[in-house]
Structure 1
C-alpha cells in the first residue's frame, strides 16, 4: 500500500508534507508510512479516499483494477437521506371488540372447622435493660454512660 500512496502523491504532485496537510493527517504519520515503519491505518486510508473521491478503493487497498474510477464517482449513500414515502396515516383496521361474559355472583358459605384452633404463645424472653451507652464524636473522642444497677420492674 505504501507504493500506491507514493503513486497517488506523484500523480497529484504533492510532497509528503502537502499530502499530510491535504488529508488532514500528522506529517510524522505519513513519514512513518512512507519509510515502511508503519502500515497505513484504516483512518488514514479513509482520509485518502475522502480527499481523492475519484481514487479507486480497490486499487488503493488491494492494488487491483485501475487507479481511478471511470465515470462519476459513486455518491455515498446517506443512511437517513432517502426516506421511503409512506402514507401519512396508514388505515388501521379496528380491533374486534372483546365481550366480557357476565356471570351472576357466586354465594360463598363458610365451612367451620370441626377441630379447635390452638394458639401458640411465643416463649417469653427475659426482660432486658440498657447497661452502657457509648457516643463517638467526629473529633475521635467518645463518652461512655453506664447505668446504675437498678432492679428490673417485675411483671
Structure 2
C-alpha cells in the first residue's frame, strides 16, 4: 500500500526537479487539473493509471521510488553512483574510460580467418569416408568402431 503523504512529498520533488506547477504537470501527463489538486491536498489517493502516466512521460522517475521511496531520483543518479563505486573499488592508478569505443575489427578478422581455415579443411577431406561409428546403449555404455584405413 502506498503511503499517500510520502507519495505527495515525492510528487512535489518531481515538480521541483522539472520546475513545473501542479497544473502544468497535470497537463503534461494528461490528467485533469482538479485530480492533481485533490491528490496534492491528500483528498484522493494516486491511481495506477496516474502513476503509469508519470513513469511514461518522465523517464527519470523510477517506479519503486515513486511508490515507496526505494531507489533514487532521478534514475541516472543511481547509475552514476554505482559506476563511481566500481571505479573507486579498482586498484588501478589510471582512470578508466567507461565510455570508450570497443574495436571489434581485429576480432572480425580473426573470425573470418578461422572460417576460411575450416572451409579449406573441409574441402580437403573426402566426405565419403567414414571416420568412426559409435553405438550408444540405453544402459549408458557405448562402443566405438573405426574402419580400417
Which band: TM-score by shorter chain? 0.3 to 0.5
Structure with the largest fraction of helix: 2
The structure number with the bigger radius of gyration is: 1
Give the TM-score taking structure 1 as reference length.
0.44
